[in-house]
């Protein structure tokens, strides 16, 4: 029904664009989601419920990490089951940098001396670069495979990173690494929960805008074609592999940046952030929200954290209900919460 109305109403449909104007239902849903995410912590802050402000930051950062994953899975058709590697690595960049800044020791002493830093700007940049490099190496190997093999190989690489962190005593091994004082930004009090939430919110907006813009560009057109019909892309003379690899790296950078902020939110980073449970959670969020939908990760993250908080308060078996919801989405609403709220969308 929805499909036929949109296509008959728009005979001169422009190329499908990931973001929408104010006028249609999708645009309203998107703005609604952002408004809920922004207004709920504002209200909680002024009512004195700091817990809910931090909960909103958590939703925001998990959504941002899933926005990164969605670029790989949804837009690129690369089902990565190892994005916790980048989420956790981003977290460890924040943790390790803060640890050395606190200790006044260098992160690396040789061949060049890299000092620790408690500046968020430096940490973000480092997280983006380090996660990008790791994704370049992992992607270069993994993207030689497809399908189930790709899923398994990304999982295997992520587990290697997980066990490495687990067994490296310098940075706490399996106990993890505390960040005693939240990292800082010039002229901003990052200790304040609302301020920190707004920083996270800014990061989410930026990652959404970036994804939207990229998917409308030539690169996005090539990535879409690589997902829909690889042969067509190659026949046109564009090799799919480098296109996918670059998309995979950008995806990891977004997830890594979210991870760096997540460590600062919790004041703590541990191998849990690197574990396959985390990869699975991010994947569940993307699927819940709607694969390949720009705002899907946000819708998915809100739903996920709400279930975790509400049902988790009632029973420790809340994931049973999460499983049922996921089953429902996969069986009956393949386009996820966004498909249900905002209607179907042409790719």
Partner 1 sequence: MSDAVLSLTHLNKRFGALQATRDVSLDLRPGEIHALIGPNGAGKSTLIAQIAGSLKPDSGGIQLAGQEITSLSVAQRARLGLGRSFQVSSLAEPLTVLRNVMIAVQALQGHSFRFWKPVHRDESLLAPARDALARMQLEPRADTPVSELSHGERRQVEVACALALKPRVLLLDEPMAGLGPEGSARLTELLEALKHEVPILLIEHDMDAVFRLADRISVLVAGGVIAHGDSATIRRDPQVREAYLGD
Residues near partner 1, by CB under 8 A: 7, 11-17, 213-214, 216-222, 224-225, 228-229, 231-239, 243, 246, 346-347
Closest to partner 1 by CB, 167 or 229: 229
Closest to partner 1 by CB, 154 or 207: 207
Query: Hey, which bits of 109-206 come out as E strands?
Result: 114-115, 177-178
Please state, in angstroms and rounded to a whole number, the distance separating the CA atoms of residues 79 and 146: 9
Please state, in angstroms and rounded to a whole number, the distance separating the CA atoms of residues 308 and 124: 28
Q: How far is the CB of 334 from partner 1 (least distance, A)?
A: 14
Closest to partner 1 by CB, 14 or 316: 14
- CB of 151 closer than 8 Å to CB of 79: yes
Q: How far is the CB of 292 from partner 1 (least distance, A)?
A: 11
Q: How far is the CB of 242 from partner 1 (least distance, A)?
A: 8
- CB of 205 closer than 8 Å to CB of 211: no
Q: How far is the CB of 57 from partner 1 (least distance, A)?
A: 28
**How long a stretch of residues is the chain?**
347
Q: How far is the CB of 121 from partner 1 (least distance, A)?
A: 22
Q: How far is the CB of 287 from partner 1 (least distance, A)?
A: 19
- Bridge partners (DSSP) of residue 185 are 188
Closest to partner 1 by CB, 78 or 179: 78
Does the CA dihedral 100-101-103-108 come out positive or negative?
A: positive
Q: How far is the CB of 5 from partner 1 (least distance, A)?
A: 14
Please state, in angstroms and rounded to a whole number, the distance separating the CA atoms of residues 95 and 270: 9
Closest to partner 1 by CB, 10 or 109: 10
Using alpha carbons, select from 91, 64, 125, 146 the residue that is nearest to residue 259.
Answer: 91
- CB of 347 closer than 8 Å to CB of 75: no
Closest to partner 1 by CB, 60 or 211: 211
Closest to partner 1 by CB, 36 or 140: 140
Residue 181: phi and psi, rounded to 5, are: -130, 130
Residue 104: phi and psi, rounded to 5, are: 60, 30
Query: Hey, which bits of 98-192 come out as E strands?
Result: 106-108, 114-115, 177-178
Q: How far is the CB of 11 from partner 1 (least distance, A)?
A: 7
Q: What is the CA radius of gyration of the chain?
A: 20
Closest to partner 1 by CB, 236 or 314: 236
């Amino acid at each position: 029904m929805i499909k036929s109305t949109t296509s008959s109403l728009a005979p001169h449909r422009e190329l499908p664009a990931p973001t929408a104007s104010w006028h249609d239902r999708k645009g309203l849903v998107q703005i609604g989601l952002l408004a809920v995410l922004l207004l709920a912590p504002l209200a909680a802050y002024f009512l004195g419920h700091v817990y809910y402000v931090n909960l909103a930051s958590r939703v925001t950062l998990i959504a941002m990490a899933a926005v990164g994953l969605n670029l790989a899975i949804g837009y690129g058709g690369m089902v990565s089951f190892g994005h916790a590697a980048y989420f956790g690595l981003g977290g460890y960049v924040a943790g390790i940098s803060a640890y050395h800044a606190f200790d006044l020791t260098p992160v690396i002493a040789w061949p060049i001396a890299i000092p620790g830093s408690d500046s968020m700007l430096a940490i973000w940049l480092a997280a983006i670069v380090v996660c990008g490099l790791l994704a370049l190496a992992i992607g270069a190997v993994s993207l030689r495979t497809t399908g189930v093999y790709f899923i398994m190989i990304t999982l295997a690489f992520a587990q290697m990173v997980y066990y490495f962190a687990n067994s490296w005593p310098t940075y706490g091994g399996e106990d993890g690494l505390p960040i005693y004082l939240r990292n800082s930004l010039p002229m901003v009090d990052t200790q304040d929960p609302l301020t920190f939430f707004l920083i996270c919110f800014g990061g989410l907006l930026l990652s959404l805008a970036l994804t939207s813009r990229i998917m409308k560009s030539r690169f996005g057109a090539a990535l879409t074609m690589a997902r829909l019909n690889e042969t067509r892309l190659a026949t046109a003379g564009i090799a799919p592999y480098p296109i996918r690899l670059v998309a995979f790296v950008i995806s990891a950078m977004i997830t890594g940046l979210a991870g760096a902020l997540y460590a600062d939110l919790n004041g703590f980073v541990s191998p849990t952030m690197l574990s396959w449970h985390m990869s699975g959670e991010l994947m569940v969020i993307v699927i819940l929200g709607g694969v390949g939908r720009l705002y899907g990760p946000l819708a998915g993250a809100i739903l996920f954290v709400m279930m975790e908080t509400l049902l988790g308060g009632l029973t420790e078996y809340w994931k049973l209900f999460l499983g049922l919801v996921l089953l429902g989405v996969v069986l009956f609403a393949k386009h996820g919460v966004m498909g249900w709220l905002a209607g179907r969308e042409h790719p």
